[in-house]
Structure formats: C-alpha cells, structure tokens
Amino acid sequence: MAHGKSEEEIIRDFGDTAALMLTVASPKASLTEIEVRAASIRQAVEQVRSGASPSDAGSRFTIVEYMTGQLPPSALHRDTWEPLVIRDPADTQARIAAIAGDKYSYRELDDLTDLMEKTLKTVPRVSKVERKGLLNEKIYLVYSQERLAGYGISPGQLPDILKARNIILPGGQIDVQGKNITIDPSGEFKNEKEIGDVVVTFSDHGSPVYLRDLPGIIRAYDSPPRYLNFYYGKGTDGRWQRMRAITLSIQMRSGENIGEFGKEVDAALACMKPQLPEDLMMARTSDQPLQVEESVNLFMVSLYEAIILVVLVSLVGFWEWRSAALMALAIPITLAMTERVHRALSYERGVTDVKIRADEALHLGRGVCQDYAHVMIAACRIAGLPARYVSGYLNSPRARESRSAASHAWVDVFLSGTGWVSLDPTHNVRQNANYVRVAIGRDYADVPPTRGIYKGNSREQMDVEVSVETI
C-alpha cells in the first residue's frame, strides 16, 4: 500500500438508516458585526482618498475590478465574503449588508459539531454518530530550497523530522458488535503553531533553528472541496437564505425503543445547549422519533373515533347504555391491563419454571414470557374477558443475528364486537408481523413445545434449534 494511505476499510453497516439527522447551520452575520466592519472600512476608504491624488482613482478601480471580475471564486478563501465595490463611503454599511456572509467559519462549525458528536456518543441508545459536510483543513509548508540548503537540510528530510514528533500512520480498526470503528491517532500537533515550534537543526553557534524560521506555514481548507453542505432557512428578516451547515447522522442501537432514544438525545442536547452559541441554528432534517410519535397519536385518535362509533352503534342498535359502555371500554381496559402486567413483572430467566402458577409469579415480581402470559390470562378471566395462551416464536433482531430463536408466549383476548385481539404483555405491544403463531390453549400445559414419553438412558438430553427468517 502506498505511503501515507490508510488501511482498507470494509463498511459492514452500509445501508443502516439514521434515526435522526441534525443539521447545524451558521446564521448570517449580525447587524452589530456589519456595523463594526462598515465603520472600519469606511474609515479606511476616507483616509486613503483624503491623501490620494485624482490620478490614483483609476488604479484603485482597476484593482477592485480585477478582484470582482478576473479572480475565480475558487481562489478566494471559503470564509471570506463576496468582493464588492464601494464608491460612496456613506453607502458602506448598506453595501456590506447586501453581501454579508455567515457568522461562523467552517473551522468554528467543525469545533462545535465535534463537541456535539462526542456528547451524543455518550448516550446509551446511540450506536453511531457521523458528521457530513466537513471542510477539511491542511497545513502547507512553503519553503525555499536555497534557504534549506544554507542549513544543510534537504526537502526530503522535512517529513522525517515531522514524523519523529507526530503520529501520522493509521491506527487500524476494531470490530465492536458488527460495527467497524476506525482508530485515528490524534498525534501531538494541535495547530500550525506547534508545527512551527519543531526544532529541525542547530546553527553554527549552537542555537536551535525552528521550522517556522525556514518555510512559510499556511493553514488552509481543501481546494476545491469534495463536498459542501448548506441549509436553506428563513433569516431574521423573513427571507430565505442559504447558510453553511454540517449535518450529524445519529443511529440507534438495534432493538432499542425509538421513543426512549429520542428522549435521551433531547436530554443530551439540552445539557449541551449552554456550551453552544445562542444564535446557532439547529434543524432536524430527519426525525424518526417524531414520526413514530405522530403515528402513535394518529392511532390513538383513530382508536377514540372507533370507540365513539361503537358507542353510537350500540345505542342505536340496542338502545341500552350499559352494553354500549361495556363494548366501548373493553379495548382501552384490555390495553391498560397489558401495560399493568408489563410493569408488574421484571423479565428474568431462571427464577421460575413451567409449573409455577400465575399468583406465584406475580408475588415474585419476576419471570419469563410464559409467566407474563399466565398473569395476563388470570387478570382477563377475573374481569370476565375470555383469554387464551398463544405459543410461537418472535422474529426479533437478536434472533436474526444469532440465527437461533427461542419460543415466545403471548395472549389472545376476546372482545365483544371486535373479536380476538392478540397482546404481548412481555413487550407491552400488540401482535404484529414479527410474531409467528404455532399453537393456542388454555395455558402453557396445553401447548408445550415438546411433549411425549422418553425411554432410554436418563442422562441423555435433546437439543432443539429453531431459526426464524423473513420471507
């Protein structure tokens, strides 16, 4: 592999969708900054014109005309504002306000989003944070061969001198739970000043010669840039503006709750807000937690509408308020019972077995899916609701990764006017497409995964492995 090239990177998590995309944008320069710049420029223009002869006006105009007409935009620094021509010093502030650029430079946005990235990585449910739209910087050494030769140094020695003080080789990669994490050694140099303080040789008198004494050290952005990110939004004046921005792509750990993920990210951003500028713009260009919340709210509205319709139909059909109220309250009562059972027990293996009763599991406050189902069935039967035990498998992310699925249990509840409704008190959700139904019965004793009589050596055992895949 060529010198200076990084190791080959295999992206295993290619295609993962970011749960949240947060765009951080720089606002336009404030009125105070424009006034300060306009005052200094107006003073400089008036000072030059007061001591210049009339013949110098053409020269001044020629220089400005070259900058605005002949100089390509790529040759200008990325943080500079657009060039302009000022003929009347009284119009300086208005002319500058018309071409005012962004308040924060790419380097400042890099530092701010770097702080946000490091903070968000501490959130337990966050698996990965990436920044898009960074404008990388480089350090250039502009040297004279004659001057280097005067100290007995060749240009080829400069890389070796720098490598002796700074780590530039790639640190490799580590595999963490199927994700590639690249190790990027930060080295010792923090800025161009530290590079200039490197001792390269000694003079004839024994005094050190620093790198800053030989070449010119210039810090600049990549030119031309490979990728730039912009955000379009309304400014303080209500007009649409294009602002430089950096987007943070935040991914959630597999199998986590998207609602809790959004709350943890919001809490991390709230704690970090005092460390960020007040006028820094942050917009959520993609927000899955919000989309899920809106979907849940839409479902609840539809549920309430359905309950109202059931009440109206029952009143019209039977003209008996007790039957109407019972039919209307059956669905929310059942959902509330599911959540109550989910909160009453803690999932823990090894504390119960298949022979334990529902009241014993409830007294322990711990158990596995079959205990959740038994407690739920007992509660439904006490409330006069028919319920049955369902045995099957769950196509969960963990089962897909391990290629081995364990049996699962949930409950069917019969609601008058609705029919059988499948509920999972272990996860506090309704049955969806990830549930694979195998058998139903009154309880676990009716539908065990294996049943029979074994004859043979008592020390033998049977191993069963089941894999669940999406077709």
For the chain, give the percent of residues with pLDDT over 90: 10
pLDDT of residue 194: 78
> Would residue 468 count as lying in a domain?
no
Pair 176, 117 in one domain = no
Claim to verify: residue 438 and residue 324 sit in the same structural domain: yes
**In whole angstroms, what is the distance from residue 62 CA to residue 285 CA?**
45
pLDDT number for residue 229: 85
- Within this chain, do residues 244 and 343 fall inside the same structural domain, yes or no? no
The answer to whether position 463 is within a domain reads: no
- State the residue for tokens 């001198």: 161
Who contacts 259 (Cβ-Cβ below 8 Å, separation ≥6)?
289, 292, 293
34-48, 119-133, 402-416, range with the lowest pLDDT: 402-416
Domain at 209, CATH number? 3.30.2090.10
* Listed ranges 10-14, 50-54, 466-470; the one with the highest mean pLDDT: 466-470
Q: Give pLDDT tens digits for 275-305.
A: 998 888 888 888 888 887 777 677 667 666 6
Mean pLDDT value of segment 199-206: 79
Structure confidence at residue 227 (pLDDT): 78
Q: How confident is the model at residue 186 (pLDDT cuts 50, 70, 90)?
A: low
pLDDT confidence of residue 48: 78
Query: Strands 173-176 and 240-252, how do they pair?
Result: unpaired
| pLDDT given for residue 117 in this prediction | 92
CATH number of the CATH domain containing 256: 3.30.70.1320
Q: What angle do CA 157, 162, 167 make, to 5 degrees?
A: 135
The helix (run of H) or strand (run of E) holding residue 160 is helix 157-163
Residue 450 to residue 446: CA distance in whole angstroms: 11
**What's the pLDDT score for residue 319?**
53
Domain span at residue 173 reads 137-221
460: in domain: no
Contact 334, 413 (CB under 8 A): yes
Residues 119 and 267 in one domain: yes
The confidence score (pLDDT) of residue 68 equals 47
pLDDT in tens, 162-172: 777 666 566 67
381: which 2 tokens? 């039967």
> Could you tell me the CA-to-CA distances from 204 to 147, 151, 258, 425 in Å, in that order?
15, 9, 68, 84
Number of domains in the chain: 4
Whether residues 94 and 210 fall in one domain: no
How many angstroms from the chain centroid is the CA of residue 160? Answer: 39
- Identify which has the larger pLDDT, 350 or 121: 121
Question: Residue 27: is the preceding peptide bond cis (ω within 30°)?
Answer: no
- Per-residue model confidence as pLDDT tens digits over 9-25: 555 554 456 788 999 99
Inform me whether the pLDDT recorded for 341 exceeds 50.
yes
What does the pLDDT read at residue 466? 74
pLDDT at 389: 95
Alpha-carbon distance of 216 to 196, in angstroms, equals 9
* Residue 14 pLDDT: 45
Cβ contacts of 203 within 8 Å, gap of 6 or more: 151, 209
Residue 411 reports pLDDT greater than 90: yes
